[in-house]
Amino acid sequence: EGETAATIASPEQVNSSSTSVAIPTVVGADVGCLLEKHSDSLVKAVKLGDLKMVKELHSAGYSLLSIDTLGQTALHYAARLGHKDIVRYLIASAPPSILDMVDTKREQTALHQSAANCRRSICCMLVAAGSGLTKRDYQDHTARDLARKADDEELARYLEKNEQSQLMMCDDLETTV
């Protein structure tokens, strides 16, 4: 895969005869994210459970937000496949938006997929990191619903308790504003 480099020009450089390309300001976006490389290699490394390769690719500039053809991130795969060390790394290193990214097929987050596969400790990590417990997939299921559907009542109770706490925190924030 060929990568192209971009140079961010200052307004002074744009007005001069410089050959730099001016990149417009993107409101609310991190410029670093715009310059990251995307690749299937990162998702493949996660599927294999290869934390070392995930770290190497990230250090080489590959985006932890890379998605595959199904719209799934590295976190989706790590959560579903039970790769706790990779989940921990992604939570610590990726932008927080990764927590609530949904895949294109089922509109599920990593929390949905870990709950559906009874990955209790991964669910705990995702909840502690701030995953949205009230997010619903294409069939209107929350992660709690999927845990219950997978016959993991203990996980479903844990998610329900935290869902209620998350809702109360949101209510508290709305009343104080």
Short-list 63, 21, 17, 16, CA closest to 43: 63
Domains of the chain: 38-176 (1.25.40.20)
Per-residue pLDDT at 99:
97
d(CA 64, CA 113): 18
Which pLDDT score is estimated for 169? 63
Query: How far is residue 7's CA from residue 9's CA, in Å, rounded to a whole number?
Result: 6
pLDDT by 10s per residue, the chain, length 177: 444 343 333 334 434 443 333 333 334 444 444 445 667 889 999 999 999 999 999 999 999 998 888 889 999 999 999 999 999 999 999 999 999 999 999 999 999 999 999 999 999 999 999 999 999 999 999 999 999 999 999 999 999 999 877 766 655 555 555
**pLDDT at position 166:** 72
pLDDT of 174: 57
Phi first, then psi, for residue 46 (nearest 5°) are: -65, -45
Please give the model's pTM, rounded to 2 decimal places.
0.74
How much is the pLDDT for 38?
A: 65
* DSSP track, 108-119: --HHHHHHHTT-
pLDDT at res. 77: 97
